[in-house]
Amino acid sequence: MTRPPRRVVSLVPSLTEAVALTVPDVLVGATDWCVEPAGLDVLRVGGTKYPDLSQVRAAVPDLVLANAEENRREDVEALRASGVPVWVTYPRTLDAALSSLARLLAALGGADPPWLRSAREAWSEPFTGVRRRALIPVWRRPWVVLGADTFAGDVLARLGVDNVYATAPERYPRPPLAELRAAGADLLVLPDEPYAFSASDGPSAFPGLPYALISGRHLTWYGPSLASARAVLSEALL
């Protein structure tokens, strides 16, 4: 690109928030799931998995933002085939997420915003407390848990929480409940998205296992929420 994009459609909620708080004038479209910042007034283009590509194109974007996990390859390929540039992110560690955000925002003309500097500072100190082994479901019916090489797993590891499925062959294993109960965890970590786990939905499947209910946004979003994520998650994990 010879100049920074001036019309951006985001198919990733965390990137929508990042762009809206850094270079708001360029954001012209977002998904129905892009709920941050509150009151965002842009064209809505459907869901993250099944966006309305005709609506995306109708926004006349010079860049669409996507993520390799949240969005479908066929949608990215269809947009590119019609001449729409697509920037695809795929961070699997906190450091990679911070670097990815810095590159994207610089390309949009919003280099190094205060929230990104705050996020780097917040996560700069290593964890020094007692480590715990956790089971981290992200869905049920069927049960799906965090496996190897995930952004959320790295975030938790930096808070002293080691994923018992961190060496699994899959990134999101689907073990039977009996196997999950026997996995050797001393903590159950239950985020409120993508599945809305709660005190009444999730813990009862693992009798006697201590659990922590945490913010899925602070665990899985890579954007402005990273500035407060360490404090928010640490308090919930106490």
Residue given tokens 């590509």 in the structure block: 53
Rounded Cα distance between 52 and 54, Å, is 5
Residues 65 and 146 in one domain: no
- The count of domains in the chain is 2
Residue at 38 is within a domain: yes
Residues 83 and 136 in one domain: no
Residues 144 and 206 in one domain: yes
The mean pLDDT value for 187-192 works out to 98
Question: Of the candidates 29, 56, 90, which is a domain's last residue?
Answer: 90
pLDDT at 205 over 80: yes
pLDDT in tens, 79-126: 999 999 999 999 999 999 999 999 999 999 998 999 999 999 999 999
pLDDT at 1 over 50: no
Q: Give me 202's structure tokens.
A: 């999730």
Nearest to residue 66, comparing CAs of 44, 47, 45, 88? 88
Per-residue pLDDT at 124 = 97
Residue at 117 is within a domain: no
Residue at 1 is within a domain: no
Per-residue pLDDT at 3 = 81
Q: Which CATH number is 231's domain given? A: 3.40.50.1980
Q: Give me 150's structure tokens.
A: 């995930």
Return left, alpha or beta for 111; rule: phi > 0 is left, psi -120 to 50 is alpha, else beta: beta
Question: Of the candidates 40, 56, 90, which is a domain's last residue?
Answer: 90
Residue at 111 is within a domain: no
User: CA–CA distance from 4 to each of 147, 164, 238 (Å)?
Assistant: 37, 43, 44
Residues 136 and 230 in one domain: yes
Residues 86 and 136 in one domain: no
pLDDT at 15 over 90: yes
Residue at 105 is within a domain: no
Q: Give me 211's structure tokens.
A: 């659990």
The mean pLDDT value for 42-50 works out to 97
Residue at 102 is within a domain: no
Residues 137 and 56 in one domain: no
Residue at 198 is within a domain: yes
Give the chain's mean pLDDT: 97
Residues 60 and 136 in one domain: no
Q: What are phi and psi of 72, to 5 degrees?
A: -85, 140
pLDDT at 212 over 70: yes
Question: Of the candidates 26, 57, 90, which is a domain's last residue?
Answer: 90
Domain that includes residue 192, residue range: 132-236
Residue at 142 is within a domain: yes
Q: How confident is the model at residue 2 (pLDDT cuts 50, 70, 90)?
A: low
pTM of this structure: 0.94
Residues 147 and 224 in one domain: yes
